Chains A and B, each alone.
Chain A
Amino acid sequence: MATADIAVDQAAYFDWLCRLGDNCLVLGHRVSEWCGHSPVLEEDIALANTALDLIGQTQLWLGLAGEVEGKGRTADKLAYLRDAAQFRNVLLVERPNGDFGQTLMRQFLFDAWHMELLRALQKSSDPRVAEIAAKAAKEVAYHLERLADLVIRLGDGTEESRARMQKALNVLWPYTGELFMADAVDQAVVAAGIAPAPESLKAAWDRTVAEVMAEATLSLPEGTFQHRGGKAGRHTEALGFILADMQFLQRAYPGGTW
Chain B
Amino acid sequence: MTGAALPDLETVRHWLSQVPDPEIPVISLTDLGIIREVEWQDDTLVVTVTPTYSGCPATSVINLDIEAALRAKGIQKLRLERQLSPPWTTDWITTEGREKLRAYGIAPPVDGTAADGRLAGRVARLAGTSNLVIACPRCGSAKTEKVSQFGSTPCKASYRCTDCLEPFDYFKCI
Contact = CB atoms under 8 A, between A and B. Distances in A.
A45 interface: yes
A8 interface: no
A99 interface: no
Contact of B149 (A127, A132, A146, A215): A146
Given A134-B86, A145-B119, A139 B54 contact: yes
A144 to B, nearest CB: 6
Interface in B81-128: 84-89, 114-117, 119, 122-123, 126
Contact of B174 (A50, A139, A144, A146): A139
Interface in A177-212: 208, 211-212
A137 interface: yes
Contact of B148 (A42, A137, A140, A208): A42
Contacts, number: 96
Contact of B115 (A52, A142, A211): A142
B149 A142 contact: yes
A42 B158 contact: yes
A62 B154 CA distance: 21
B72 to A, nearest CB: 26
Interface in B53-97: 53-57, 84-89
B53 A53 contact: yes
B117 A115 contact: yes
Interface residues of B, number: 30
A152 B126 contact: yes
Nearest to B59: A56
A141 B117 contact: yes
A18 interface: no
Contacts of B149: 46, 142, 145-146
Interface in A113-163: 115, 119, 127, 130-132, 134-142, 144-146, 148-149, 152
Contacts of A146: 149-150
B174 to A, nearest CB: 4
B55 A43 contact: no
B119 A53 contact: no
A149 B126 contact: yes
Given A119-B117, A145-B115, A60 B54 contact: yes
B147 interface: yes
Contact of A134 (B53, B87, B115): B87
A201 to B, nearest CB: 13
Nearest to A56: B55
B152 interface: yes
Given A131-B84, A134-B85, A57 B117 contact: no
Nearest to B121: A145
15 contacts: A42-B147, A42-B150, A43-B148, A45-B148, A45-B151, A45-B158, A49-B150, A57-B54, A127-B85, A135-B87, A135-B88, A138-B87, A138-B89, A141-B116, A144-B119
Given A56-B53, A115-B117, 10 more contacts: A42-B148, A43-B148, A45-B150, A46-B148, A52-B57, A53-B54, A53-B154, A59-B55, A144-B117, A145-B149
Interface of B: 51, 53-57, 84-89, 114-117, 119, 122-123, 126, 147-152, 154, 158, 172, 174
What are the 3 tightest A-B residue pairs by CB atom distance, in nearest-first order? A56-B55, A56-B54, A42-B148
